[in-house]
C-alpha cells in the first residue's frame, strides 16, 4: 500500500523536486500539490505532508498538518532553536503525531556538519561562510545555523569561540558565538565552508552542491522515516541514525579442542 503525500510549496524548485521523487517511487503516491493560493485543507486525506514553503509560512503549515493527524516532513529553512523548542512543546501534547525537520537533504552536507562538530573542541577560532543562489530568502541558512549550534554544543565546556570585533556588521551574524557570513549570488547553488583556526594552521571543512539531484537520497530517506515518526526529529543526521540497521553481534567462536 502506497503512502499518500501532499506537497506544500509544490511550485518552488524544492517542491518540484519532491513531487518528481514521489511520482517516480513505488512507495509513495502524490496526493496533492499546494501552491501559495491553495487552502491548507487541500492536504486533508494525505498520510504525510511535505512542507517546502517559506520561513514565514512554514509554522502555520506544520501546525495545521499536525493538528489534523498528518505527519509532516519540513524542508523549509528558518527553524531556529527557539521555534523548534516551541514546536516541541506542541508535539508533547500530540503523542501520536510526528514532525521531521530537515534543514538540508544532502547526505554529504550532514557528514560535513558532523566533521565540523568533531573538530570544534580543538579550535578556539571558528567562522562559517555559506553561499546560496540569489533567490534564497533566508540568511543565514538553516544548515549554517544547525552547524553552528552543533559546534557550540560540542564546545559547551569550553565557552564561546574567539571572534573579535563582532560589533561590526561586516563580521556576520553570531550563532552559538560563531560568526556566519552569507552570500546570495547568481551562479551558486549551495556551498558551505567551516573555517577553524589554530596556532600556525587552518582547517577548512567544505561542502558544495553541484546539482539538485544530490538531495534525492536524503529526501527519500526522510520520507520513509516520517511515516512512522512520533514526536519531533530534527536533522537528517538523526534520521540517518534512526534508519541505520543495528550491527548484529558477531557469533561466538567455537572453542578449539
**Which residues carry out catalysis?**
132, 136
- Whole-number Å distance between alpha carbons of 147 and 91: 24
Q: Which three cell numbers stand for residue 220?
A: 527519500
Q: Which three cell numbers stand for residue 79?
A: 527553524
Task: Find all residues with CB under 8 Å of 117, minimum gap 6, and list them.
Answer: 147, 150, 151, 153, 154
Q: What share of the chain is helix, strand, coil (3-state, %, to 5)?
A: 35, 25, 35
Q: How far is CA 218 from CA 17, 18, 33, 152, in A?
A: 12, 11, 20, 25
DSSP element (H, E) containing 125 = strand 125-133
Amino acid at each position: 500500500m502506497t503512502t499518500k503525500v501532499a506537497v506544500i510549496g509544490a511550485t518552488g524548485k524544492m517542491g518540484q523536486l519532491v513531487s518528481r521523487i514521489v511520482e517516480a517511487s513505488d512507495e509513495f503516491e502524490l496526493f496533492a500539490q499546494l501552491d501559495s493560493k491553495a487552502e491548507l485543507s487541500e492536504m486533508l486525506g494525505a498520510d504525510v505532508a511535505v512542507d517546502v514553503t517559506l520561513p514565514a509560512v512554514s509554522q502555520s503549515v506544520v501546525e495545521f498538518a499536525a493538528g489534523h493527524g498528518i505527519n509532516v516532513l519540513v524542508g523549509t529553512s528558518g527553524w531556529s532553536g527557539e521555534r523548534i523548542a516551541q514546536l516541541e512543546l506542541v508535539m508533547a501534547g500530540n503523542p501520536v503525531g510526528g514532525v521531521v525537520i530537515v534543514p538540508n537533504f544532502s547526505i554529504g552536507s550532514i557528514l560535513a556538519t558532523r566533521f565540523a562538530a568533531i573538530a570544534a573542541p580543538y579550535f578556539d577560532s571558528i567562522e562559517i561562510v555559506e553561499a546560496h543562489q540569489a533567490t534564497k530568502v533566508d540568511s543565514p541558512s538553516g544548515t549554517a545555523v544547525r552547524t553552528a549550534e552543533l559546534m557550540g554544543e560540542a564546545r559547551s565546556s569550553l565557552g564561546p569561540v574567539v571572534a573579535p570585533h563582532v560589533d561590526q556588521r561586516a563580521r556576520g551574524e553570531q550563532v552559538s558565538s560563531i560568526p556566519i557570513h552569507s552570500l546570495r549570488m547568481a551562479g551558486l547553488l549551495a556551498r558551505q565552508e567551516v573555517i577553524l583556526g589554530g596556532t600556525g594552521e587552518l582547517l577548512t571543512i567544505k561542502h558544495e552542491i553541484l546539482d539538485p539531484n544530490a538531495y534525492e537520497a536524503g529526501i527519500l530517506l526522510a520520507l520513509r522515516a516520517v511515516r512512522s515518526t512520533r514526536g519531533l526529529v530534527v536533522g537528517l543526521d538523526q534520521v540517518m541514525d534512526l534508519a541505520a540497521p543495528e550491527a548484529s553481534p558477531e557469533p561466538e567462536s567455537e572453542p578449539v579442542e
